[in-house]
Amino acid sequence: MSQYNVLIDTSTLQERIRTLGAELVKTFESVEDPLLVIGVLRGSVLFMADLVRAMDRPLETEYIRASSYGDARVSSGTVTLSGERPDVQGRHVLLVEDIVDTGRTLKTLVAALQTEGVASLTTISLLDKPSRREVEVEADYVAFTIEDAYVIGYGLDDAGLFRNLPFVAVVDGD
Ligand code: IMP
Ligand code: MG
């Protein structure tokens, strides 16, 4: 059974997300159409739920499935997009990720959405591990930049578990 230490507690998460939500509302002030907020399944679900509640403006929510890990903690290097895809043609899209690690997932998603005719594409990630980057890509907004450590909680899993923790924690054992 893994042990963990809290890295980002619940109130720190909530305060930062409220700030980012308000910042994003300002960013999209001139956009009259509903914003299309797309969460990357499955890790972004908790972050997205809090982020959209911090955004007082018209928006729609959609999800996209991307996976690269399987059950391992090391990326397989191949990113797969699967399932039904939201129609993004002509839409102002905010793409919500849980974490940018090697960057392969975000890079793949950005490339895919850009070929599908978005009006604009903005990316936000709860976490960023810049020291792990293997491809050149940055999220436009990052809630927290962290060191290279495997993290769980607040949507992030270790072999499917721990997504329900209300904080972000570092795994420190097996
Ligand atoms: P990337 O393609 O290597 O940037 O990896 C992105 C995906 O890997 C994220 O969306 C997560 O699902 C997963 N991931 C990367 N690092 C972690 C971690 O520390 N904990 C849990 N999942 C992670
Ligand atoms: Mg993910």
Contact 44, 126 (CB under 8 A): yes
Residue of 101, 128, 140, 148 marked catalytic: 101
pLDDT of res. 165: 98
Ligand 1 binding pocket includes 44 (Cβ within 6 Å): no
Ligand 1 atom closest to Cα of 42? 12
pLDDT of res. 75: 64
- Tell me which residue has its CA closest to atom 16 in ligand 1: 101
Give the closest ligand to the alpha carbon of residue 104.
1
> Domains of the chain (ranges plus CATH)?
14-66+81-147 (3.40.50.2020)
Contact 98, 129 (CB under 8 A): no
Contact 104, 79 (CB under 8 A): yes
pLDDT of res. 1: 59
Ligand 1 binding pocket includes 102 (Cβ within 6 Å): yes
User: Model-level pTM?
Assistant: 0.94
Contact 46, 163 (CB under 8 A): yes
Tens of each residue's pLDDT in the chain, 174 residues: 569 999 999 999 999 999 999 999 999 999 999 999 999 999 999 999 999 999 999 999 999 998 775 556 666 667 888 888 899 999 999 999 999 999 999 999 999 999 999 999 999 999 999 999 999 999 999 999 999 999 999 999 999 999 999 999 999 865
β pairing state of 120-128 and 141-145: parallel
Ligand 1 binding pocket includes 97 (Cβ within 6 Å): yes
Q: How far apart are CA 113 and CA 95, in angstroms?
A: 9
Ligand 1 atom closest to Cα of 108? 2
- Tell me which residue has its CA closest to atom 20 in ligand 1: 151
Nearest to 89 by CA among 105, 113, 107: 113
Computed over its alpha carbons, how large is the radius of gyration of the chain?
Answer: 16
Q: How far apart are CA 34 and CA 102, in angstroms?
A: 31
151 Cα–ligand 2 center, Å: 12
158 is catalytic: no
